[in-house]
Copies of this chain bind each other. A is one copy, B any other.
Amino acid sequence: MATINEVAKLAGVSKATVSRVLNNRPVSSETYAKVMKAIRELKYQPNAQARSLSLRRAKVIGLIAPDLQGVFHGPIIMGVEQVLQNNDFNLIVSRVQSKEYRLAKMLKEKKVDGLIITTPRQIGEKAILALKRDNFPVVVIDGNVGKQVSSVEIDNYQGAFQATEHLIKLGHTRIAVISSPPSFRESQERLLGYQDALKQYNLPFDSTMVREGDYLLPSGEREMEKLLALPSPPTAVFAFSDLMAIGAIHCLFKKGFSVPKDMAVIGFDDSIVAQSFYPPLTTVRQPIMEMGVVAARKMLAILSGEEVEPTHVILQTSLVVRASCGADLHQ
């Protein structure tokens, strides 16, 4: 590959001048033409590494996630990459490993200009705050590490409220919940939304109605079974993930029950499994890809100096009514 020196030589100018036309700085139209001609002839392509070293920025940002696929992190990657690509940045993705030090490494090596960290449960708040303290650009998705670091989250409270309210308006009074681990912040937020909806409609809160799952299908199936064994079982169940909702339905189907006739079921996420299941799942839609988009925009704003103070955006959920609760069966 040709270098800037060869282009300069062929065009009969100094490499400083070549650099100028590359960066759209004022040059005479004649030299511009000469240089462009040489660039084309040599098929010259600037070396990104040399440029990065000189400019002290890589035009690469890193994304750290516990998982690089799946219904949650997949769309986030899509969203992030989309806006980065439109701004001529590249995206390095990395799955977080046990050794948390890897996190800071990419930044300190200057391999990336900033880091977007999603669902930083395994990483730990202190590690992220340490980065922030060293003044590294950091944006967190779906995690709470304090007000010092910019973040984008979704409104878990509101999502849970919507789901519960939907069930209540359908006439249900005994509404069970299959939750995620209580230690997760979103579990608490969603549980609060559920309880507040109950309260607002003067329905009693019954602690036997809330079961703990782990977001995956088998836990939904398992907890539904326990719910069914209750002296007074629920008539509707709100699962904190689509997969657990589907797991609950598996249990119901195996026992010969019908959905939504015998039991209304509502999920959370609106992932591909919600749309493709039969009956199509009513669920709370998380604007997942948009989280990635917003996070990437925020990172770019930080890098360009537009955003100096950390900000926190909370994206709204929306209820997607399909067939698993008995409304709008015309899907």
A residues bordering B, Cβ < 8 Å? Answer: 1, 45-50, 52-53, 58, 60, 67-71, 74-75, 77-78, 81-82, 85, 90-95, 97, 105-106, 108-111, 217, 243, 246-247, 249-250, 253, 272-273, 275-278
Contact = CB atoms under 8 A, between A and B. Distances in A.
B110 A93 contact: no
Contact of A53 (B49, B69, B273): B49
Given A45-B105, A47-B53, 14 more contacts: A45-B108, A48-B110, A48-B111, A50-B53, A60-B92, A68-B74, A68-B78, A77-B77, A85-B95, A91-B93, A91-B94, A217-B275, A217-B276, A273-B273
B85 A74 contact: no
Contact of A47 (B69, B81, B109, B217): B109
A250 B280 CA distance: 9
By Cβ-Cβ distance, the 7 closest A-B pairs, closest first, are: A69-B74, A48-B109, A45-B108, A48-B111, A49-B53, A49-B52, A74-B74
A109 B46 contact: yes
Q: Please indicate which of the listed interface residues A69, A105, A110 has the most CB atoms of chain B within 10 Å of its own CB.
A: A69
Contact of A70 (B48, B74, B111, B217): B74
A78 B95 contact: yes
27 contacts: A1-B108, A1-B110, A45-B105, A47-B53, A49-B49, A49-B52, A49-B53, A49-B111, A67-B78, A68-B74, A68-B78, A69-B77, A69-B78, A74-B74, A77-B77, A78-B95, A82-B95, A90-B92, A90-B94, A90-B106, A90-B111, A91-B92, A91-B94, A217-B276, A247-B276, A249-B278, A272-B272
